[in-house]
Structure formats: C-alpha cells, structure tokens
C-alpha cells in the first residue's frame, strides 16, 4: 500500500479519465456562466464541465478541511434539482487553509477538475473539484443542508455496473443509476452532507484514525460483529469508511462489533485508501461490543496440532515478542508445529547483506519459554539477499517451530536457498530428498517472492509432510471501488503460477505415497473461493480446511470492512477423510485496534 505521506501524489487532472490508456479532454466551450453544483456533477462520474472555468457557483459551506495536502471545503446547493443521479455537493480545493466557515453562503469561481486519489495508474475513481477558486462570501450563519440518511433501505444490494468494454472496463462514462447500484448511489452523493445512525464497526480503528462501519447489519454478518467477504459476486454494499474532520486525538478507538451510537454526519468523500468515505464533522458515541480475543482448545496427547501465524515483519528491534509469545502459548495453546511467516533477518530492514535470522527466532523462542510454553526447536533456510520480496533489506522467510517433546523433525542434508527439494520412495514410502528444503526455488513463479519451505516431521511414528508458504501479495490489484468494474486482480497471475508449483510438489508426494499426510499452509494471500485456492487444491490433492467452518466464520483478516480469508491450511485426503481433524481460526488480531499482527493465526488438530 502506498505511503500516506503521498496522499495527493497525482496532480489535479484537467481531463476526464475515460479509459485506461489516456485522458480525454472535453471540447465543450471553455467558459460557463450560472451553473449550479448539480450541473457540475452531472449524471456520470466525470463532470461535463471538467477542464472548464465556472463562475459564481452558489452553495452553503458544510465542512472545512484544514489539514494535510488536500485542504479546502465542501459546499452544497440548498436548492437541489429533482434528479437523484446528480450530487448537490462539491469539494473546493484551496491548497491552503480555507478562510470560510461552516454555514457561510458563498459563490465560487474556478476551474472544474477531476482529481484521482493515488494517481491515474491506481485505477481509482476521481473526485470532482473546483480548483484555483475565487470565493465570495454572501452571508454567514446559514443552516447547513440536512444530511442525506444512508441506511440499509437506501443502499442498493447490487454493487456496481459492469464497466464499458470500449473503455477498458471503466464505469466513468456510464450514466449513474443510484437506485440499482451501491457505487452509483454513493457517487450520486459525492461531496454532499450525509449521515449514518447506530452504525456497527466492521473494521477496527487503524493507525491513521480510520474505521469502517456497515449500514447493513444483516449483510453477511460474522458471529463477532464483522461483515464476511465470501464471493466475488456478492459484495458487501453497506460498508463505509469513517474519518474525522476534527482532531485525530478524539477519534474513537474501536474494535469490530462496537457501535457508533447516534448519528455520524459529514460530507461524503472518496480517497485512495478505501473509496467512499464519510468525513465526519460529528461522530456518534462509541459503545463497546465487548469483543474478546479467542483461545483455542488444547490438543490431546494423540492429536498433532499444526498452526500458521503471520507475525508481520518480526525483527529483533520489535517490542511485540512477549505478546506474540503469549498468543502462541495461551491463545493457540502451544501447537506442536508452528509455521511462522514474515520472520525478518537479524537487523530487520537494514539492507546490508544480512540474511541470518537466528537472533529473531531465538528471541521469540525465549519469550515463549518465559510465557510458560515449551522450548521450541526450529528449522529454516536463509533466502538469497533481497530476492524474496517484502520490506527491502528485511529478507522475510517462513520458519518452522516445533516442540521436540511432542514431534520430531527429520533432518536430511542438502537443502539450501537455491536447491530444489525432491521426493523419493524409500521402503514404499515417500521421503524428501532434503529436509528442510525449498520447493523449486528457481522457478520464475517465485521471482521477488517467498519460496515455500518443506519439512518432514514424525508424530507418534507417523510421517507428516509440511509445506510452509507465503504467496505473492495482492499489491497492485485495483480496489473494490475502482473505476474499473470488475476490478483487475493483476497479482493473481504470479499467485496462480505459485499455486501450480506447490500443487505439483504435493502431487509428487502423493504419487509416491497415496495416503501420505501432507499439509500446505501459510499466508496464501487469497480467498478460499479464489482461483489460487482451486489451483492449490487441484484434483483433490489438497483441500482448504477453513471450509470445514460455517461460512460466517471463515476469515483470518479484516480489510476495508470485509472479513476475509488470506491464511489457509490445506490438507491431503489422508487427513481429510481418513483421520479426525478440527480447524480453528483463532481471532486475536484482525478485529482489534491494538493488533500485534494484521493476520489471525489458525490451528489444525488431527490424529495421523
């Protein structure tokens, strides 16, 4: 995700962005008199006056933005037209602290522009603005136009129209249909004063003083108060981001399941970090939902417990070791095997050629012992410097922790950062040629990405093959509220190639030993219903165990109001059909404002 310090990277565009290839400059007259805000907004996402000068546009100031690089104010016409597709509000970009106040009746002369938050390459929708303004205050102390109530009755269930194929899938040129599509409805309110009431929080407050609510409390709810994302074809239309016009020190610190009781009111904006956003001049009162972190049950003596946990760029300088240790010992109940993702090298993001992570891992192991857990042993393979993606210089990798009192690791030499692990048959059973080993690290699928780590374990005399993964991230994909509908998921190309390699390796094991216990787990960076998951599962070689949970409980991550699956534990037929197994996504992070990682860990318990 881009840095917040670059929030206004793109220059104000003078043209309407109507295709992925180029901007189209409108050729209507260069000057227009006596236009109203609804004329400027028009019935599409792009103003019919884009690039033109408008004179003496009247409106009431509804809010001012006095901070950041996008300073200005919103005005709204108190005399609306009768077309629901045309917004009556618009943002006036002043670049410096505006000299107007809420309730001022003003006229604005300036140039209409379409600003694309994040720049045109982001694929985001644009915000219609008046720039280079000359402002005349007509009167002060006027009543602000009453807010439009946004609720479950007003927001359509369908998310967005299909984009124009002649414009690379853009919806910019389509006439808005606010009664049919949620994105059209929100666009028809762009810049207007809106209001939500008694809104349930569905993504916790983040470090930027933002949270997400839903105005549709019955839309795909999770038992813990969130909104579950379970299909590309069924978007959650009630999601809305909330920011504050006031001091961020006063912004509510909320968890999922909390409620902003009463009314939250302010202009509807669009930003690069989530799309349509209510910028609140008045915030509801935060009422706690009492959400608590989950604890899974302890495995029995005959059950093998295998977990995956993304610890989010953990390096020795972090202050979260004790908290991660407590999570592993208390919330996860000290699993026998833990696949850790995002373990950084011993000096973190310092890019000096260091690749060893012994200090990082041993610091976590010591913290686990201090928390009352077992003395874990560990195995990993250092990556080639700066070849596995992630934070530059961090050299993130997967690491196996295992409890030697409960499970044995089969050490077999030959595994290194560039040598591919293979599968052989020994006495009729599958065996790795190296343990630990990396899965086909030279394949182009792993370019600038983490290579899978394979290891051979023995529990109560039974061999278990574990493949730790951290697939290519979703960085670069277009957002759900993009101007291109459906959005382009460009990151899938590499992730699908990676899933193909992992599935082929599992096939190699199962071709030697049909009843082998195989687990592929980790941060797959994709949903359980995605093409990536289908490729991993193949023709039955693997099955994503999170699908053993009810649909309302399938999530490991919470992003922009959508609780979703990114982390998975996939199991071979011998585990799924021949053994008793139990899967648990242990919600300790994703729903909380004070998370120590953005991912929830998962645990699989089974009897080999």
Phi-psi region of 194 (alpha: psi -120 to 50; beta: other; left: phi over 0): beta
pLDDT of residue 355: 98
Give percent of the chain with pLDDT exceeding 70.
94
**pLDDT tens figures, 351-389:** 999 999 999 999 999 999 999 999 999 999 999 999 999
Is 485's pLDDT higher than 50?
A: yes
How far is the C-alpha of 320 from the C-alpha of 386, rounded, in Å? 24
- Tokens encoding 470: 């951290």
pLDDT of residue 33: 53
How far is the C-alpha of 374 from the C-alpha of 358, rounded, in Å? 18
How far is the C-alpha of 178 from the C-alpha of 160, rounded, in Å? 10
Tell me the average pLDDT across 108-125: 96
Report the C-alpha dihedral over residues 439, 445, 449, 450, rounded to 10 degrees: -10
Instruction: Enter the pTM of the model.
Output: 0.93
Higher-pLDDT residue of 259, 5: 259
- Name residues whose C-beta falls within 8 Å of residue 577's C-beta, 6 or more positions apart in sequence: none
pLDDT of residue 22: 29
CATH class of this structure's domain 4-139: mainly beta
Is 148's pLDDT higher than 70?
A: yes
pLDDT band at 126 (very low <50, low <70, confident <90, very high): very high
How far is the C-alpha of 453 from the C-alpha of 86, rounded, in Å? 55
pLDDT of residue 149: 98
What are φ and ψ of residue 108, in 5° steps? Answer: -125, 130
pLDDT of residue 29: 38
Q: Which fold has domain 304-606?
A: Deoxyribonuclease I; Chain A (3.60.10)
Is 513's pLDDT higher than 80?
A: yes
Scanning the structure block, which residue is given the tokens 């318990």? 605
Q: What is the DSSP string of 264-301?
A: EEEEEEEETTTEEEEEESB-PEEE--------PPPPPT
pLDDT of residue 246: 77
Scanning the structure block, which residue is given the tokens 């300036």? 110
Element (H, E) at 496: helix 492-512
Tell me the average pLDDT across 78-105: 97
Q: Which fold has domain 148-287?
A: OB fold (Dihydrolipoamide Acetyltransferase, E2P) (2.40.50)
The mean predicted confidence, pLDDT, of the chain is: 94
Is 26's pLDDT higher than 70?
A: no
- Name residues whose C-beta falls within 8 Å of residue 141's C-beta, 6 or more positions apart in sequence: 103
Is 493's pLDDT higher than 50?
A: yes
pLDDT of residue 248: 78
How far is the C-alpha of 236 from the C-alpha of 125, rounded, in Å? 18
pLDDT band at 495 (very low <50, low <70, confident <90, very high): very high
Tell me the average pLDDT across 333-337: 99
Q: What is each CA distance from 512 to 22, 464, 468, in whole angstroms?
A: 54, 14, 21
3-state secondary structure of 128: strand
Question: Is 33 within 8 Å of 26 (Cβ atoms)?
Answer: no
Residues of the chain with CATH 2.40.50.140: 4-139
How far is the C-alpha of 253 from the C-alpha of 241, rounded, in Å? 14
How far is the C-alpha of 227 from the C-alpha of 206, rounded, in Å? 17
pLDDT of residue 142: 98
Cα angle: 291, vertex 218, 245; to 5 degrees: 65
Q: How far apart are the first and last CA of the chain?
A: 41
Maximum CA pair distance of the chain?
91
């Amino acid at each position: 995700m881009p840095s917040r310090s670059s929030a206004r990277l793109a220059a104000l565009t003078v043209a309407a962005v109507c295709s992925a290839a180029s901007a189209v400059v409108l050729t209507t007259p260069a000057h227009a008199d006596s236009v109203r805000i609804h004329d400027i907004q028009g019935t599409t996402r792009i103003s019919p006056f884009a690039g033109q000068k408008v004179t003496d546009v009247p409106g009431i100031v509804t809010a001012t933005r006095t901070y950041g690089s996008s300073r200005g104010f919103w005005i709204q016409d108190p005399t609306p037209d009768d077309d629901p597709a045309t917004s009556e509000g618009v943002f006036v970009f002043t670049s410096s602290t505006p000299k107007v106040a809420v309730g001022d009746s003003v006229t604005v002369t300036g140039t209409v522009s379409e600003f694309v938050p994040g720049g045109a390459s982001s694929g985001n929708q644009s915000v219609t603005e008046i720039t280079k303004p000359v402002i005349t205050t007509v009167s002060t102390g006027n009543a602000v136009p009453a807010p439009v109530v946004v609720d479950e009755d007003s927001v359509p269930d369908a998310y967005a129209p299909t984009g124009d194929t002649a414009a690379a899938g853009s919806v910019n040129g389509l006439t808005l249909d606010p009664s049919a599509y949620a994105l059209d409805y929100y666009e028809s309110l762009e810049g207007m004063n809106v209001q939500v009431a008694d809104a349930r929080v569905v993504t916790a407050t983040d470090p930027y003083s933002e949270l997400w609510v839903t105005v549709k409390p019955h839309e795909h709810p999770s038992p813990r108060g969130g909104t579950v994302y379970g299909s590309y074809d069924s978007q959650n239309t009630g999601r809305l981001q909330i920011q504050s016009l006031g001091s961020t020190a006063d912004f509510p610190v909320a968890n999922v399941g909390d409620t902003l009781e009463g009314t939250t009111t302010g202009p509807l904006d669009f930003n690069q970090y989530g799309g349509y956003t209510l910028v609140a001049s008045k915030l509801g009162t935060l009422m706690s939902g009492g959400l608590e972190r989950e604890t899974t049950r302890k495995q029995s003596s005959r059950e093998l417990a295998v977990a995956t946990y993304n610890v989010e760029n953990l390096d020795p300088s972090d202050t979260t070791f004790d908290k991660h240790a407590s999570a592993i010992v208390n919330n996860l109940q000290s699993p026998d095997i833990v696949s850790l993702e995002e373990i950084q090298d011993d000096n973190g993001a310092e890019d000096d050629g260091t690749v060893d992570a012994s200090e990082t891992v041993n610091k976590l192991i010591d913290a686990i012992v201090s928390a009352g857990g077992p003395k874990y042993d560990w195995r990993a393979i250092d990556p080639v410097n700066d070849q596995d993606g992630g934070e530059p210089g961090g050299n993130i990798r997967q690491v196996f922790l295992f409890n030697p009192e409960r499970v044995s690791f089969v050490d077999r030499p030959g595994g290194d950062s560039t040598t591919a692990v293979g599968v052989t048959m020994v006495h009729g059973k599958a065996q790795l040629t190296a343990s630990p080993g990396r899965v086909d690290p030279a394949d182009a699928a792993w370019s600038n990405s983490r290579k899978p780590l394979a290891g051979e374990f023995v529990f109560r005399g039974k061999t278990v093959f574990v493949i730790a993964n951290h697939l290519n991230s979703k960085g670069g994909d277009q957002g759900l509220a993009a101007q291109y509908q459906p959005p382009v998921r460009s990151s899938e190309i590499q992730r699908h190639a990676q899933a193909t390699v992992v599935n082929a390796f599992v096939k190699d094991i199962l071709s030697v030993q049909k009843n082998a216990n195989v687990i592929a787990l980790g941060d797959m960076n994709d949903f359980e219903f995605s093409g990536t998951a289908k490729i991993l599962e193949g023709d039955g070689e693997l099955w994503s165990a999170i699908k053993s949970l009810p649909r309302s409980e399938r999530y490991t991550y919470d992003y922009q109001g959508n609780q979703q699956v990114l982390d998975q534990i996939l199991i071979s037929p011998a585990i799924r059909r021949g053994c008793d197994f139990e899967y648990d996504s242990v919600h300790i992070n994703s729903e909380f404002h004070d998370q120590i990682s953005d991912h929830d860990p998962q645990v699989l318990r089974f009897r080999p």
